[in-house]
Amino acid sequence: MNRIKEAAVIAIGIIVLGLCVKSGLDGFSDRSRQVTVKGLSEREVEADKVTWPILTKELGNDLPSLYKSINATTAKVKAFLKQNGVKDSEISVNAPVVIDLNADQYNTVKRNYRYNITSTVTVTSRNVKLVRSIIARQGELLKQGVAVVDGGYGNGVVYEYVSFQQIKPKMMQEAIKNAELTARQFADNSDSEIGKILEAGQGQFSIENRDDNTPYIKKLRVVTTVTYSLKD
Q: Please, where are the H alpha helices in 2-46?
A: 2-32
Position 118 pLDDT exceeds 60: yes
pLDDT tens readout for residues 146-192: 999 987 777 899 999 999 999 999 999 999 999 999 999 988 988 88
- Contacts within 8 Å (CB) and 24+ apart, 31-34: 33/192, 33/229, 33/230, 33/231, 34/198, 34/227, 34/228, 34/229, 34/230
pTM for the model: 0.78
The closest alpha carbon to 193, from 224, 159, 220, 230, belongs to 230
What is the rounded average pLDDT of the residues 210-221?
95
- What is the percent of the chain with per-residue pLDDT over 90, rounded to a whole number? 66
Residues 161, 182: Cα–Cα separation, whole Å? 30
Which range, 84-98, 140-154, 186-200, has the best average confidence (pLDDT)? 84-98
Mean of pLDDT over the chain: 86
pLDDT tens readout for residues 29-88: 445 688 999 999 999 999 999 999 999 999 999 999 999 999 999 999 999 999 999 999
